[in-house]
């Protein structure tokens, strides 16, 4: 199964529209790791919803209007202010916006999860620790690095492919 990973969209609608177009026809599930920011970001994700992509999102530290996000984006993307434990293709996922690195490592080495999907640091990461692969798709907004990135996880191959585009600063 191919799962789209996106994080830290930070209201960059033009860039996120391009990233979402890349996802179209490639993924069955989308995971958003938080810092969506405004409820009006919903329109970016409607094309995926229309294609039948099941979407899950965890809210981040910069997601201020939590009730608005839940109300407006909620009908097309399942949202939680905390974390998700999900299962796809018999693989166990922990989805968080952020946790201290020591806690990420404790969870990874507990071997409870096949994947920990996280955001927040605006940096790509793809690292296997014990049986757990820790993935950060990087920043979809591109505001810190000038490069907007997303990732596709193939659960069958246990492989992660990044897609990047430059962002005007």
Residues that bind Mn ion (CB under 5 A): 8, 35
CB of 145 to Mn ion, least distance (A): 12
CB of 123 to Mn ion, least distance (A): 11
- Torsion angles phi and psi, residue 144, rounded to 5: -90, -35
Comparing CB distances to Mn ion, the nearer of 10 and 133 is 10
CB of 148 to Mn ion, least distance (A): 13
Contacts of 149 (CB under 8 A, 6+ apart): 124, 137, 138, 139, 140, 142, 162, 163, 164
Strand order, beta sheet including 132-137: 84-88, 91-95, 115-117, 132-137, 124-129
Closest CA to 134 of 165, 160, 163: 160
Q: Which residue is nearest to Mn ion (CB)?
A: 35
Rounded Cα distance, 151 and 146, in Å: 17
Rounded Cα distance, 137 and 152, in Å: 8
Comparing CB distances to Mn ion, the nearer of 62 and 155 is 62
Comparing CB distances to Mn ion, the nearer of 20 and 141 is 141
Pairing state of beta strands 132-137 and 115-117?
parallel
CB of 60 to Mn ion, least distance (A): 6
CB of 62 to Mn ion, least distance (A): 5
Asked if residue 114 lies in contact with residue 93, where contact means CB atoms within 8 angstroms, the answer is yes
Comparing CB distances to Mn ion, the nearer of 8 and 114 is 8
Comparing CB distances to Mn ion, the nearer of 35 and 114 is 35
């Amino acid at each position: 199964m191919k799962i789209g990973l996106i994080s830290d969209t930070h209201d960059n609608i033009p860039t996120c529209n391009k990233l979402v177009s890349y996802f179209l026809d490639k993924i069955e599930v989308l995971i958003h790791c938080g810092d969506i920011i405004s409820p009006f970001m919903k329109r970016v994700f409607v094309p995926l919803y229309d294609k039948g992509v099941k979407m899950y999102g965890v809210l981040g530290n910069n997601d201020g209007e939590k009730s608005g996000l839940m109300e407006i984006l909620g009908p097309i993307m399942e949202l939680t202010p905390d974390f998700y434990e999900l299962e796809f293709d018999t693989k166990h996922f922990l989805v968080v916006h952020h946790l201290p690195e020591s806690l990420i490592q404790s969870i990874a080495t507990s071997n409870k999860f096949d994947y920990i999907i996280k955001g927040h640091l605006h940096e790509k990461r793809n690292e296997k620790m014990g049986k757990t692969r820790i993935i950060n798709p990087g920043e979809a907004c591109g505001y810190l690095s000038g490069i907007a990135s997303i990732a596709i996880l193939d659960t069958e191959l246990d492989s992660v492919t990044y897609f990047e585009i430059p962002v005007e600063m």
